[in-house]
Structure 1
Amino acid sequence: MSIEYIKVSDFYRGIFFELLKDAYSFDCKYEQAYKSKWQENDDFFFNNLQIADKYCFITTLNGEAIGFVAWDPRNMPEYAEIGDNCIVSKYKGNGYGKLQLQEAINRITQNDVKKIIVTTNDDLIPAQRMYQSVGFTICQRRKKQNVEHIDYVYFL
């Protein structure tokens, strides 16, 4: 099996939304809460392909898009913040999310960033395990809209 990390401009508008919808299909509350944000992000990246190709990539397996990761560079070199990071349901649990995350870390560190931050929800246990397995540590827990969020940091 061949994993590749492909630039966004090689794909079509709507791919981010499709990947996120599938990745979070295990619980309809995610689509209900984030549907408009997912669409806004998809529109932003395809309206700004030069940004998308630099701060995001789509992970493919044998030519099929299976996930993506994007990060916000606006606070670099102090820190970069990983935003969306997902793998579609069919391929979860096979280590592709960890490979994708490690590729993102490798790309972010090329910018002499001091740290990388990411946030996940307390009910997304596999995501928590993945972040911790590559060296992220919990720096804060906070409640937002009745959901406990966990902020992680990766020091470089």
Structure 2
Amino acid sequence: MNMQIVDADKNDVEGLIEIYSLPHLYHNREEARWFVKSFFDYHHIKIVKHKERIIGVLFWNVVEEKHHGLVEVRDFWIDESFRRRGLGERFLRMVIKDIKRFFAKDNSTLRKVIVTTGSDNIPAKRLYEKVGFQKAAAIADLFALGETELFYVLTLNP
């Protein structure tokens, strides 16, 4: 499969808004637009394209200051028709390598990557654990009443 992993740019905004307007991601197009545009202004967006179509997205940001070496994955999405083929793992591993290079440009070191997922999201939990993340905490009612979010941390060697 011919894919490319690139930084999202302004030409990708509408495609990302379409993706994040899907009912299971955001409640409406305006919320999706705010989410996507806020990341273009202050954070990082990596995308996977297949035949010019966005099939994967990963939003990340530096937590606090760069010298702390901490990154949070804010959102990670793979198109349903491309799931369970190893794409998510390859994409996540490649983005982590890219983030390491981002830190190295300023003589900083990426030390930890954090991500959250719902406790009922078995495929995501398997993926994060396969890549080396360890479950660090479970917090009930964080994003919605009656749901538990799991915090995963990937600790990298300097």
Which band: TM-score by shorter chain?
0.7 to 0.9
Letter paired with 1:44: S
Letter paired with 2:136: C
In terms of Rg, which structure is larger? 2
RMSD across aligned positions (CA): 2.2
Q: Structure 2 CA distance, aligned partners of 1:125 and 1:35?
A: 28
Deviation by residue 1:89-132 (Cα, 9 ceiling, x = unmatched)? 11111111111111111112221111110001112111111111
Name the structure 1 match of 2:106: none
Deviation by residue 1:54-93 (Cα, 9 ceiling, x = unmatched)? x221101233210110111143332100011101111111
Name the structure 2 match of 1:11: 11
Structure that is richer in helix per residue: 1
State percent identity of aligned pairs.
23
Name the structure 1 match of 2:62: 73
TM-score, normalization by structure 2 = 0.80
TM-score, normalization by structure 1 = 0.81
Q: Where in structure 1 do 4 or more consecutive aligned residues deviate above 6 Å?
A: none
Q: Secondary structure at the match of 2:152?
A: strand
Name the structure 2 match of 1:100: 91
Post-superposition offset of 1:13: 2.2
Letter paired with 1:105: I
The verdict on how the C-alpha distance between 1:21 and 1:129 changes in structure 2, with shifts beyond 3 A counting, is farther
Gaps of 5+ in 1: none
The verdict on how the C-alpha distance between 1:118 and 1:13 changes in structure 2, with shifts beyond 3 A counting, is same
- Larger relative contact order (CA 8 Å, sep ≥ 6): 1
Q: Structure 2 CA distance, aligned partners of 1:77 and 1:113?
A: 9
Q: Structure 1 CA distance, aligned partners of 2:152 and 2:29?
A: 24
